[in-house]
Amino acid sequence: MAHDEKLIKALAEKAKTLRRDAVEMIKAGESGWIGGSFSQADIVTALVFHHMKHDPKNPQWADRDRLIVSKAHCCETVYAALGEAGYFSKKEFANYGQFGALLQAHTERIVPGIEYSGGSLGQGLSFALGEALAARIGAPKDKSGKPVPRFRVFCIIGDGESNEGQVWEAIMAAAHYKVDNLVAIVDHNKFQSGATVAERINLMPLSEKWRVFGWDTTEIDGHNFNEILGALENAAKVKGRPSAIIAHTTKCKGVPSFEHKNLHFCALSDEMYAEAIKALT
């Protein structure tokens, strides 16, 4: 499904801005998670600036959609999105990772707009499932008497993170409880901290695993906004089971010389910083 060209262009420009903001944060903080933060940037952009129901002026609005970033170390483009959306001053970017600063190297709920404090991998989908089930509490009923959830929950999961057994327990539980207001998005950039995912524990065939566990599953190019928006819109129509979007992405997407390299947690030299800013300007 093709979307409005102006919308696609605007989202692409916003994603470039988020990556540029993230570079500034990582340079200011002297290190950061550039690879996985950049690979998820287009997904975060589509959610925060188009698809999700939320209000930066009322971060605790009870019926807001929730974004749970299970790979919580990849926080820079999430912080960038929230700052650009108006949840807090963009001046906070300059203090990223510093002692006492609002923005630390893993997401924390103290930050306006952050729903999940992360650290240990593999736990975010369980948290997201709990949020999605909570949306049934006090919800209106449809004609058959079933609750219509008050909000939707989106959870970004890393492919390397998917080695964790708790991820698969949550996958089974969500299918069992037919949690159709839950959307899991796998940032499938093919790398984890020490090597490729295939070298550590090969997840393939990934889509088939989610599908056989009972999820409505689709694969997309995680940098194609038409495909991202289409998958999110289709997931909103699914009834009776949760949705999984396997997003094929590129680690360090946006800076050509960095792409396909396992730049996980790293510092940016002056040369790398200049190269990144040039590519993102």
pLDDT top residue among 187 and 140? 187
Distance of CA 94 to the CA centre of its chain: 22
| % of the chain exceeding 90 in pLDDT | 90
Quick one: 5-279 is in which CATH superfamily?
A: Thiamin diphosphate (ThDP)-binding fold, Pyr/PP domains (3.40.50.970)
> Residues 171-186: what's their mean pLDDT?
98
What is the average pLDDT score of the chain? 95
Span 20-78, pLDDT tens digits:
999 999 999 999 999 999 999 999 999 999 999 999 999 999 999 999 999 999 999 99
Beta bridge partners, 123, equal none
pLDDT at 1: 65
| % of the chain exceeding 70 in pLDDT | 100
Check pLDDT > 80 for residue 188.
yes
Contact (CB, 8 A) for 254 and 19:
yes
Rounded CA-CA distance 269/257 in Å is: 14
Closest to 257 in 3D by CA, of 272, 239, 242, 241:
272
Span 209-262, pLDDT tens digits:
999 999 999 999 999 999 999 999 999 999 999 999 999 999 999 999 999 888
Q: Whole-prediction pTM value? A: 0.96
Domain ranges of the chain: 5-279
